[in-house]
Amino acid sequence: MPAHAESQKSPVREREPIILSPFEAAVGRQQAARIARQTIERQTGTKARVTGISREDDHGARWEIEVTLRSGQEFDVYVNAAGRVVKVIRKSANE
């Protein structure tokens, strides 16, 4: 390789860190599940467990989390990408 070819190479640039705003940062599956469970526990005053997690695009949400109380009562909790609960639906016993 000619000596002048090396000088023509572009310098290696380090990548700039990507900084996301709170609105762009996406909560993960486990974070969304914890947020949903804690929301239902606060609202009902009862211990709850997560019984289902799925990706979602309704109600402005990224995640749909199914949360169940010991009594069997179920809730669908919709969590957006920023980790905010955007909707809670109490499911009827027939669902």
Look up residue 71 and give its amino acid: S
pLDDT for 87 equals 95
Q: Kindly list the domain boundaries of the chain, sorted by start residue.
A: 28-95
Which string of b and e fits 31-70 if b means at least 16 CB within 10 Å?
ebbbbbbebbeeeeeeebebeebeebeeeebbbbbbbbee
pLDDT tens-place string over residues 29-70:
999 999 999 999 999 999 999 999 999 887 788 999 999 999
List the one residue out of 87, 86, 41 whose CA is nearest residue 68.
41
**3 state DSSP class of 30:** helix
More confident residue, 82 or 94: 82
Whether the full predicted model's pTM is greater than 0.75, yes or no, is no
- Architecture of the domain whose range is 28-95: 2-Layer Sandwich (3.30)
The least confident of 4-8, 41-45, 66-70, 88-92 is 4-8
pLDDT for 9 equals 57
